[in-house]
Amino acid sequence: MRRLAAAAASIIVALTAAPTAAVARPSSEPGSSTGRHLERDTRAPLSLLARQLGRQALPAGDGWAAAGPGTTGGAAASADQIHVVRSRAELVAALGGDNATNATNATPKIVYVSGSVDGFEAADGRLLDCTDLADPEYSLAAYLAAYDPAVWGRVAPSGVLEQARVRSVTNQTRQTQINVGPNTTIIGLRGARLTGLTLMIDRASNVIVRNITFDDARDCFPAWSPTDGEAGNWNSQYDQISVRRSENVWIDHNTFTDGDNPDSAQPVHFGRPYQVHDGALDITHTASLVTASWNRFVGRDKLMLIGSSNTVGPDVGRLNVTLHHNLFDTVLQRLPRVRFGQVDVYNNAYRLGGDGFEYAIGVGVQSAVHAESNHFALGTGVDAADLLYDWGGTAITTRGNWVDPADGPSRPVDLVAAYNAVHDPDLNPDAGWTPTLRHGPVLPAPLVPLVVGPLAGAGRLPL
């Protein structure tokens, strides 16, 4: 037991100590001082530790994002490319100046978020709402009247109102999707929050996002999909972070929540919940080499989609992701759902239960998930057989995992055997690969909630 405690202590020390070897040096000209440059802003001078953490690179060997050139984000930023932002306009300016072209701005940059930045903030500082972004020909009331299945039938909406909804989505995307370019670090100061927006990391490799609470990336104009499932579904568009066609991305110590606007509080239209949120962190469209560590996902429905299509093609050999020391707290599905990729899921803590829980790990087409030493606390009505779901996959490696049932003591569990005992067809217990990119010791599953619970999420880094 002393050895287990020592292993946990080593993790805690590594997290809270000021970075040294992993901190890159400024690339400014001789005689310049990054610290002096930042502290010209007398509203919020950055501490030495904040400056060090802003330049911290992903440690060697820390998951798939450490492969190839590794992930350094904006560590090489010159003094004039270090920014503290407090508004949407300042965030866009810090990322390059023009949201339409920022995705291609490869200049190394470090962006510190201070306070709350709202994606619905207009250039003049006022907060927009959904009616401000709606096309003049769109209204929800008219949409509901036109496409009620009792009137329209079970076919996809089309025509003038659907076209107006699509134009409204274009308006919202222009406003609330914030495009991030390569070689960028976005890091929150204490209490930092990005609300009502999507960080879009598309064709933008070498990106780091840390220590931020992501809150309520709502879709003003969900689409009705009458053939999605037996009764149809409302589908929304905006993730809190979307990683597409990018490599070497590190998502660390963030909190993802719907805040005071959960999908459970939305109305019902056409007999189905009017869902206004999509994923928390989706990794799709041939993205790969991503590490998501020490994040907290709280009270959401759809969380993490790795691979967005069953089509065999460009995603094959891609979508390689590591998830470690994340807390999945009262969340319902996609923890993660995987297609194609080699995905290492280890030392994560799950607190599962409540109305609407569906599954934890989705085994999708040609996926190769390795799930090791995770801890699953199960609420009433959730069984170990419910933790996996077959989305057209065939195999998953599971070892060293534990469950803590609502009606019994904690115990080790063979997740594949538990699934196969109840479901057909069986899953193969060998996904065909063994992870090698891991930083630090792998904790025994019983220790995981003791370490991950207090240390995962935004506000845990010493900023």
- Residues with catalytic function: 334
CB 56 within 8 A of CB 22: yes
Q: What are phi and psi of 186, to 5 degrees?
A: -115, 120
Rounded CA separation 321/361 (Å): 14
Report d(CA 359, CA 356) in Å as an integer. Answer: 10
For 7, other C-beta atoms within 10 Å of its C-beta total 16
Joined together, the tokens standing for residue 33 give: 């001082």
Q: Could you say which DSSP state residue 77 is in? A: -
Element (H, E) at 404: strand 402-404
Question: What gap in Å lies between CA 159 and CA 22, rounded to an integer?
Answer: 55
115 Cα distance to chain centroid: 20
C-alpha distance from residue 91 to each of 114, 260, 412 (Å): 10, 24, 46
Q: Which residues contact 125 (CB under 8 A, 6 or more apart)?
A: 87
Q: Which two tokens stand for residue 345?
A: 């899921």
Q: How many CA atoms lie within 13 A of 151 on its CB side?
A: 9
Check the CA dihedral 55-193-115-182 and report its sign: positive
